[in-house]
Chains A and B, each alone.
Chain A
């Protein structure tokens, strides 16, 4: 019997019992749809978190002064223990490294801020114009610090949203003078309310040029250097280059710590990836159930069509032909279920995206392929036993049964 004839015969057999076929396809499609939709949810959660992190300023490399002691106590460190300052020159020189796109120095301190008779304690961040880019800060009003010599900053200040409200209330703040410590600054911008990032609440700070902040706090060392790598793949090279460069500048002593946001991100990535995988596994159970259903239905079909099998044998069908016909039927039913389920799953994902536009609920390619493959494999696997039973039927007994 030719393959095309086997397929045609099996199609006829499947469509000859429409209710049975429809129910089986439904069961299989629910399994596949569950895999597609649930992995879309899991992977959507993963992408959502990564997007949120990226909004913080992605490809970020952070330099801290001093070395984190992860290698145990080293007597050499005890002698040369005091780390060198992390200076503005250090930061500026990093901008020339190939993997680095932008550098923003950061010094943090607290002081009093007063305007119009109102006074409050505030955290001051001394930095440069690049900070807005590196941290992806958006301004509600005005503009950010101007580009100028890092060592000679103009007395301008950018206010956090909360600070601005505390000092000026409903009055306009741009262009007003405020007093920080014993210096006077002109307000040139207000940061969009953003919330906490990297342990700092941008709504509660004021931003001034780094040189003025150093003068106010009488300090030469920086609190952090924020570096943006050229792209995601450049983060690790940037980290290595920065560490090497600073070690050279500090006379061969590795007295800074370089961390990447990627490390945090990778953890989340792994965590949510595992979650997606687990959810896919749970959904796959429904595929296994559908597979058992395929077996059940095919066994019933063999019993139902015993007379037909006996007849085919009398007409000269070999055991192989009969096995292939039943197997083809099981595979076609599974395939149809898989395709319908894929459609349903994509529809479900689309509905989720409609309801929660911020949530990128797209099923990952691996899950779609795995779902479809599992459906097919279970169909074949659970179809083999009924097909073999049909092929082994004794023709005399099969014909005697009506």
Chain B
């Protein structure tokens, strides 16, 4: 059973009078543990695809089977639960909550999941240690460097042990060397069995992936 199966997905946005087809008749199958780069110019639909995979958006038609279950028909609450337990997000602009410390940011998903306080702090401490952030636990995001921020974000994305990580231009706001570190970190997670899907328009980044999906005008034009 593939981990992800998209069947004939359509996503249409209405802008004023005109309809924009962000995704057209898209089929995609992803096995557990794969490392995929979704590439394409801006407006090609790659971010829409990622949002759809992350259950932040719903297709207009077609089916999305996640671990064999059609998740497009789930209620908003059930989708939130799937996001909480199966999916980790990494964003280009990190999306850390500015008033919370690094440790509190990492703990957010567990707080939302209702995990008790003691277990939370134990797992956060372990995660911060694993990502080399132990000395930064009580720092707020504005006291951290870009690379540290993205590492906090990755720690947050993995704290619930998700089945897949969806990364949207994870190195877009980082310099080359820091970006390299972050990618190595993500690839290490992938080596541990987590499905990694990276959206990028950077060819060098895309070439690191074992599988590349190229998008254009909402269509998949290349998949190898």
Q: Chain A interface (Cβ within 8 Å of chain B)?
A: 1-2, 5, 9, 12-13, 16, 307-308, 310-321, 395-396, 399, 402
> Given the known A-B contacts A13-B99, A321-B112, are A395 and B56 also in contact in the complex, defined by CB atoms under 8 Å?
yes
A321 → chain B closest CB, angstroms: 7
CB of A5 within 8 A of CB of B111, answer: yes
Point out the residues of chain A lying under 8 angstroms from B56, CB to CB: 313-314, 395-396, 399
Return the contact of B76 from the options A312, A319, A402 (Cβ within 8 A).
A319
CB of B57 within 8 A of CB of A315, answer: no
Q: Chain B interface (Cβ within 8 Å of chain A)?
A: 51, 54, 56-57, 76-77, 80-85, 89, 91, 93, 95, 97-100, 108-109, 111-114, 156
CB of A313 within 8 A of CB of B80, answer: yes
Q: With A and B bound together, what is the CA distance between A230 and B17 in angstroms?
A: 87
CB of B112 within 8 A of CB of A316, answer: yes
Return the contact of B111 from the options A9, A396, A399 (Cβ within 8 A).
A9
Tally A-B pairs: CB < 8 A. 64
> Given the known A-B contacts A316-B81, A316-B83, are A311 and B111 also in contact in the complex, defined by CB atoms under 8 Å?
no
Q: With A and B bound together, what is the CA distance between A320 and B76 in angstroms?
A: 10
- Among all A-B residue pairs, the 5 with the closest Cβ atoms: A316-B84, A16-B99, A316-B83, A318-B80, A395-B56
CB of B109 within 8 A of CB of A315, answer: yes
CB of A315 within 8 A of CB of B84, answer: yes
Point out the residues of chain A lying under 8 angstroms from B111, CB to CB: 1-2, 5, 9
Q: With A and B bound together, what is the CA distance between A310 and B108 in angstroms?
A: 13
CB of A399 within 8 A of CB of B95, answer: yes
CB of B114 within 8 A of CB of A1, answer: yes
B9 → chain A closest CB, angstroms: 15
Point out the residues of chain A lying under 8 angstroms from B98, CB to CB: 16
B105 → chain A closest CB, angstroms: 10
> Given the known A-B contacts A314-B83, A318-B80, A396-B56, are A402 and B93 also in contact in the complex, defined by CB atoms under 8 Å?
yes
**14 A-B residue pairs with CB within 8 Å:** A1-B112, A1-B114, A5-B111, A16-B98, A307-B95, A308-B97, A315-B89, A315-B109, A316-B82, A316-B113, A319-B77, A396-B51, A399-B91, A399-B95
Point out the residues of chain B lying under 8 angstroms from A321, CB to CB: 112
Point out the residues of chain A lying under 8 angstroms from B89, CB to CB: 314-315
Q: Which residue of B lies closest to A391 (CB)?
A: B76
Max chain B Cβ within 10 angstroms of own Cβ: one of A12, A319, A320, A396: A396
Q: With A and B bound together, what is the CA distance between A399 and B169 in angstroms?
A: 14
Q: With A and B bound together, what is the CA distance between A304 and B210 in angstroms?
A: 40
A8 → chain B closest CB, angstroms: 9
B147 → chain A closest CB, angstroms: 19
Point out the residues of chain A lying under 8 angstroms from B156, CB to CB: 315
Q: Which residue of B lies closest to A15 (CB)?
A: B99
Q: With A and B bound together, what is the CA distance between A9 and B89 in angstroms?
A: 21
Point out the residues of chain A lying under 8 angstroms from B100, CB to CB: 12
Q: A308-B97, A316-B83, A396-B57 are in contact. List 11 more A-B contacts (CB 8 A).
A: A1-B111, A310-B95, A312-B108, A315-B84, A315-B109, A315-B156, A316-B109, A317-B80, A396-B56, A399-B56, A399-B91
Point out the residues of chain A lying under 8 angstroms from B84, CB to CB: 315-316
Point out the residues of chain B lying under 8 angstroms from A9, CB to CB: 111
Q: Which residue of B lies closest to A319 (CB)?
A: B76
Q: With A and B bound together, what is the CA distance between A265 and B156 in angstroms?
A: 71
CB of B112 within 8 A of CB of A317, answer: yes
A309 → chain B closest CB, angstroms: 10
Point out the residues of chain B lying under 8 angstroms from A5, CB to CB: 111, 114
Q: Which residue of B lies closest to A17 (CB)?
A: B99
Q: With A and B bound together, what is the CA distance between A399 and B51 in angstroms?
A: 10
Q: Which residue of A lies closest to B91 (CB)?
A: A399
